């Protein structure tokens, strides 16, 4: 059995792959990072001080893949995750919070920049650690239009 620090490092690598694969549009490999019963909740508005985050209904893994691949089909994206807080709950379950920043540049010159947190649950199976649940919350959003 791996040491706790090794399990935490494996989860960090999992999340690094999440960011790299979404930005490089490696959709099949990105989908493989999720459990079969994966659920994602995405907030589209700032949710500080009790504000409504304007969450979409939950997505399953295939729905989340479609959302991302459609949204980024013609856009360039840069996703960063920082300062993970990872807690092992059992040998096969963990949770984490990642500070995040995403930048989405569209062909028309408009740019979306968001800041927030990923609140996640992880599960370890025969393939290793995978993301079982993801909730993206926002603390700041910026948009710019082409000049």
Question: Cβ neighbours of residue 30 under 8 Å, at least 6 residues apart?
Answer: 18, 21, 22, 65, 68
Smallest CA-to-CA distance from 139 within 115, 105, 108, 113 is with 115
Q: Is pLDDT at 1 greater than 80 in this prediction?
A: no
pLDDT grade for 143, boundaries at 50, 70 and 90: very high
The 8-class DSSP code of residue 52 comes to -
Average pLDDT over residues 16-23: 98
Share of the chain above pLDDT 70, in %: 99
Cβ neighbours, 10 Å, residue 94: 22
Domains of the chain: 4-144 (3.10.450.50)
Least confident span in 49-53, 87-91, 114-118:
49-53
SS3 81: strand
For 36-71, how does the pLDDT look when each residue is reduced to its tens digit (9 = 90+)? 999 999 998 898 887 888 888 999 999 999 999 999
pTM: 0.93
CA 61 to chain centre: 12
Tell me the pLDDT of the chain averaged across its residues.
Answer: 95
Share of the chain above pLDDT 90, in %: 87
Q: Are strands 34-46 and 76-90 parallel, antiparallel or unpaired?
A: unpaired
């Amino acid at each position: 059995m791996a040491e706790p620090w090794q399990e935490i490092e494996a989860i960090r690598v999992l999340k690094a792959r999440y960011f790299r694969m979404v930005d490089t549009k490696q959709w099949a490999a990105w989908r493989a990072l999720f459990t079969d019963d994966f659920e994602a909740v995405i907030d589209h508005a700032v949710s500080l001080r009790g504000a409504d985050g304007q969450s979409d209904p939950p997505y399953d893994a295939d729905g989340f893949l479609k959302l991302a691949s459609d949204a980024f089909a013609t856009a360039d994206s840069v996703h960063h995750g920082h300062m993970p807080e990872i807690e092992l709950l059992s040998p096969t379950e963990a949770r984490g919070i990642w500070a995040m920043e995403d930048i989405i540049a569209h062909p028309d010159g408009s740019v979306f920049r968001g800041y927030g947190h990923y609140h996640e649950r992880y599960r370890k199976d025969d393939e290793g650690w995978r993301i079982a649940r993801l909730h993206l919350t926002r603390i700041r959003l910026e948009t710019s239009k082409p000049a």
